[in-house]
A and B are shown apart, each in its own frame.
Chain A
Amino acid sequence: MTRKLNDLILRSLTWLCALLTFSILIFLIGYILINGIPYLKPSLFALEYNTTNVSLLPALITTVMTVALSLIIAVPFGVFSAIYLVEYARRGNRFVKLVRMMAETLSGIPSIVYGLFGSLFFVFWLGWGLSLLAGSFTLSIMILPLIMRTTEEALKAVPDSYREGAFGLGAGRLRTVFRIILPAAAPGILAGVILAIGRIVGETAALIYTAGTVAQIPENPLASGRTLAIHMYALSSEGLYTGQAYATAVVLLVVVIGINALSAYAAKKIVKG
């Protein structure tokens, strides 16, 4: 009898906790949508930011610029090092172990520590000042381990028969990598890149002391600019534009949901391929 009771308690707890987790998510999204959508007015998308329109468009454009710059820096390094680890290095090689360990370390470092480092190194030591460039370099280090890991997994998922086939037909290692393996692994790599975009879009702590908080579109890479997440943080801490902060949160959420869906779609492609 007590055993049956025990089972019942465990079963109810399992359902209850699952229910709680998903209700929190639904509540959070619902709450922000309900409070934010009424404030999504055309003036919020004016090209110039000022204190009457509190436009988020400059921040949105800055976000796109930051994403592009960070990816340009991080993707080649991430993909190339994954290629080295999977296709070139011998398994169990000491260098490989060290690289993996460092990548793991990087992925555990909190964003504020990246921000601190970016401020010390890029902003002051290299003298770039608070700038798009300093912010993007900081973020590119932050997303490097993510791109490395997802690319590695995508490369490992390519069956060995592809490699054997290519070698058997006389292709060199390089040709095999670029013509056979990379195309087959592309959806998986893409899924990782999209996840990295998600992290950049949501980032605040690593950017506030590297890219700064200027509310205009940066005119060159050495000018400061705020991304959407920083914009929202600034609005909510000023406390004057709560409605606009909600609206910004809606835009952020829509972007994040879109990115997640895209990444899942890309990941599904590998399973099929």
Chain B
Amino acid sequence: MKGFAKYKEQILRAVFALSALAAILAVGLICVFLFAGGIPGMVKIGVFQFLFGKEWSPSDIPSAFGILPMIVGSLYVTAGAVLVGVPIGIFTAVFMAKVCPKRLYKLLKPAIDLLAGIPSVVYGFFGIAILVPLVRSLFGGNGSSILTASLLLGIMILPTVIGITESALRAVPGELYEGAVALGASHERAVFGVVLPAAKSGVMAAVVLGIGRAIGETMAVKMVAGNQALLRLPSEFLKGVRTLTANVVIEMGYAEGLHREALIATGVVLFVFILIINLLFSALNRRTAK
């Protein structure tokens, strides 16, 4: 026992250091298993065929595994989500940081946190119950569409965009605002003309993280997007589309053989997209820190 007491410091130091390895180990395992599970299938199908093939028909003979419709689908709904969520999010962040009275703020801040905490199934359910019928009655079609998914995702990325933009706005030194006002600028002009541009890289980081959320969202999108694995044009925004995430979650339950490998490879493509977005995000964060 005395021996343990003597080495306790060293032993626990080692335990702490080993625990810190967990995150590295986890990323390593995820990479190994995803790539080992997905790359062989991608090679069998043909990398070009897989990434740029326009047809996804796993049960046909011969089967076709082209995920271009899903890549494009993910890009559409993500772009839509940015169009909906980013402007609303930035204006709301300006409201939170520069306009909102303190007492109201105490009420609204938890509300934004709550918006972030609502599970995606609940959002999806809300989408089915409200947005799908709304889009159907306003624009026709059956309601499950690129537009519906964009609206829902736009709402879902709001807390992310608001949170990061708000802290970026708060990080801008107060002298900038005061200086602008002292030079005769109005409150709005000082906020939108001076403070917001000064927080530019923080706002960009918010947008990038919002894109990451939108492209990775699965259940809510699957519930409202219609999920047809067809290559759509941007003008067909009232028709259904399938995202990369939906492709995995819809078919993984029963897929076998090459079909299964193709789905894992879909996950790999999604993973690579996310890694690129992560890199962008941390590059922007580094710039903000400077």
> Interface readout for A54-94 with B: 1 if CB under 8 Å, 0 if not?
00000000000000000000001100110111011100000
A11–B219 Cα gap in the complex (Å)? 36
> Are B158's CB and A21's CB within 8 A?
yes
Interface pick from A45-53, A180-188, A251-259: A251-259
The chain A residue with its CB closest to the CB of B285 is A104
Q: Does A221 contact B (CB under 8 A)?
A: no
> Are A252's CB and B119's CB within 8 A?
yes
> Interface readout for A99-140 with B: 1 if CB under 8 Å, 0 if not?
101111110111111111101110001000000000000000
What is the distance, in angstroms, from B108's C-beta to the closest C-beta of chain A?
7
Known: A31-B126, A105-B27. A112 touches B114 (CB 8 A): no
Give which listed residue, B17, B119, B223, contacts A202 with CB less than 8 A. B119
Q: Does B12 contact A (CB under 8 A)?
A: yes
Known: A3-B186, A232-B121. A144 touches B282 (CB 8 A): no
> Interface readout for B182-212 with A: 1 if CB under 8 Å, 0 if not?
0000111100100000000000000001001
The chain A residue with its CB closest to the CB of B19 is A80
Give which listed residue, B117, B189, B216, contacts A110 with CB less than 8 A. B216
> Are A249's CB and B29's CB within 8 A?
no
Interface pick from B52-60, B171-179, B268-276: B268-276
Known: A84-B20, A120-B37, A203-B119. A108 touches B278 (CB 8 A): yes
What is the distance, in angstroms, from A175's C-beta to the closest C-beta of chain B?
9
Chain A neighbourhood of B278, CB < 8 A: 104-105, 108
What is the distance, in angstroms, from A118's C-beta to the closest C-beta of chain B?
9
Known: A11-B188, A21-B88, A202-B121. A32 touches B126 (CB 8 A): yes
Known: A105-B27, A198-B117, A202-B118. A110 touches B9 (CB 8 A): no
Interface members, chain B 76-124 (any A CB < 8 Å)? 87-92, 94-96, 99-100, 108, 110-115, 117-124
A76–B37 Cα gap in the complex (Å)? 30
Q: Does B13 contact A (CB under 8 A)?
A: yes
The chain B residue with its CB closest to the CB of A9 is B188
Q: Does B44 contact A (CB under 8 A)?
A: no
A204–B246 Cα gap in the complex (Å)? 13
> Are A106's CB and B23's CB within 8 A?
yes
A192–B50 Cα gap in the complex (Å)? 41
Q: Does A240 contact B (CB under 8 A)?
A: no
> Are A25's CB and B216's CB within 8 A?
no
What is the distance, in angstroms, from B194's C-beta to the closest C-beta of chain A?
13
Interface pick from B61-69, B140-148, B233-241, B248-256: B248-256
Known: A7-B189, A81-B22, A120-B37. A113 touches B267 (CB 8 A): yes
> Are A144's CB and B274's CB within 8 A?
no
A4–B253 Cα gap in the complex (Å)? 59
Q: Does A13 contact B (CB under 8 A)?
A: yes
If A18-B95, A204-B121 are given as contacts, then 6 extra A-B residue pairs at C-beta distance below 8 Å, sorted by A number, are A21-B92, A22-B108, A99-B23, A111-B216, A202-B120, A232-B121
Among all A-B residue pairs, the 4 with the closest Cβ atoms = A110-B216, A202-B119, A17-B91, A80-B19
